[in-house]
């Protein structure tokens, strides 16, 4: 008898949880994690130590909501493409877990709340940069560049660099050369991070008529471009040492992890020109580890006396 009474309640609860999971998936939480990795350390560098914890909390929450809004808009705009690609076949708008209207309303709510929250809890500059990040990802990358040019990820990737500026602005209400250098590190890192990923899912992008570099160029050319951007990324990261200036912790981590990142990019190219199995996801995961190490060092360095 109890089971019969509880069953509708249990089913309703299960549907509610499934709805929540669908909304969370719409925000692309893995991308949010990566963006937050660059925000908190930059705030510590800007402060020269541990910033106000409430300020850090609200900046991270506002940044997460901003990134979630951009991700939700992206899923809404690209829903036709997502239905074609196997990699995105389980996204909420493809499976029907959410309606198009629900996704669009959710994206707008997250965007407005994120900007308002940052305006109230941090400052106008951080809030404005958050709005620009959403605009750049949704309009410049998703609507304009993504389906039109193989340079899409280069210029569209600028949206992923904004958390660096947002974190710095939240602490200082300004933008300095140190923040710009770290912005450029993420900008230059994005192609050698994403191009291996697009190599792995080349057939998906080709089926959806998305001109990723791996679709319109051969593996060797993609590998060569990846090397060039990896070198540029590491060189840019080393510019921070004399500009800020940085201590031995950041210097050692930036040099060592940068050398490893470059070596992995060369390995991808060597496998590509030899015609064997390329295994691009090795570099994809290595790039995430590299960026994480560099930005952890950015945050730790001002806390140490050397």
Q: Indicate the domain borders of the chain.
A: 20-174, 176-306
Burial of 110 (0-12, 13-18, 19+ CB in 10 A): buried
State which CATH number among 1.10.10.10, 1.10.357.140, 3.40.47.10, 3.40.50.300 fits the domain covering 20-174.
Answer: 1.10.357.140
pLDDT (0 to 100) of residue 1: 43
Fold entry, domain 176-306 = 1.20.120
Summarize the confidence of residues 174-200 as an average pLDDT: 96
Summarize the confidence of residues 61-82 as an average pLDDT: 96
Q: What's CA 34's distance to the chain center, in Å?
A: 5
257: closest CA among 268, 245, 265? 265
Summarize the confidence of residues 158-187 as an average pLDDT: 96
Give the C-alpha separation, 280 to 193, whole Å: 10
Give the C-alpha separation, 106 to 22, whole Å: 11
pTM over 0.85: yes
194: closest CA among 277, 268, 284? 284
Rg (CA), the chain: 21
Q: How many angstroms separate the Cα of 95 from the Cα of each of 10, 66, 98, 191, 224?
A: 22, 24, 8, 30, 38
pLDDT (0 to 100) of residue 6: 60
Provide the total of helices (H) and of strands (E) in the chain, helices listed first. 15, 0
Indicate if the pLDDT at residue 297 is higher than 90: yes
Summarize the confidence of residues 184-190 as an average pLDDT: 97
Q: Which residue in this structure is represented by tokens 């600028």?
A: 158
Burial of 30 (0-12, 13-18, 19+ CB in 10 A): exposed
% of the chain at pLDDT higher than 70: 98
Where residue 12 falls among pLDDT bands split at 50, 70, 90? confident
Q: Which residues contact 128 (CB under 8 A, 6 or more apart)?
A: none
44: closest CA among 235, 174, 172, 200? 172
Summarize the confidence of residues 157-182 as an average pLDDT: 96
SS3 208: coil
């Amino acid at each position: 008898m109890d089971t019969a009474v509880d069953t509708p309640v249990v089913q309703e609860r299960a549907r509610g949880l499934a709805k929540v999971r669908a909304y969370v998936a719409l925000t692309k939480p893995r991308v949010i994690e990566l963006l937050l990795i660059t925000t908190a350390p930059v705030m510590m560098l800007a402060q020269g130590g541990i910033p106000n914890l409430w300020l850090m909390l609200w900046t991270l929450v506002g940044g997460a909501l901003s990134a979630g809004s951009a991700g939700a808009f992206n899923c809404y705009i690209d829903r036709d493409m997502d239905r074609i690609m196997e990699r995105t076949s389980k996204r909420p708008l493809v499976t029907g877990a959410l309606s198009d209207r629900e996704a669009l309303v959710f994206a707008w709510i997250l965007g407005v709340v994120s900007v308002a929250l940052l305006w109230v809890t941090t400052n106008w500059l951080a809030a404005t940069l958050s709005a620009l990040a959403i605009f750049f990802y949704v309009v410049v990358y998703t609507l304009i560049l993504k389906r039109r040019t193989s340079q899409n990820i280069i210029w569209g990737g600028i949206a992923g660099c904004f958390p660096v500026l947002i974190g710095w602005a939240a602490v200082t209400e300004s933008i300095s050369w140190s923040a710009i250098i770290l912005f450029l590190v993420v900008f230059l890192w994005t192609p050698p991070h994403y191009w291996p990923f697009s190599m792995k899912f080349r057939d998906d992008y080709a089926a959806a008529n998305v001109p990723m570099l791996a679709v319109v160029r051969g593996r060797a050319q993609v590998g060569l471009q990846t090397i060039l951007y990896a070198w540029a990324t590491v060189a840019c990261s080393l510019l921070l040492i004399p500009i800020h200036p940085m201590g031995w912790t950041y210097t050692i981590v930036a040099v060592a992890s940068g050398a490893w990142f470059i070596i992995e990019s060369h390995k991808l190219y060597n496998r590509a020109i030899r015609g064997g199995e390329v295994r691009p996801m090795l570099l994809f995961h290595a790039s995430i580890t590299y960026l994480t190490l560099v930005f952890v060092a950015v945050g730790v360095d001002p806390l140490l006396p050397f």
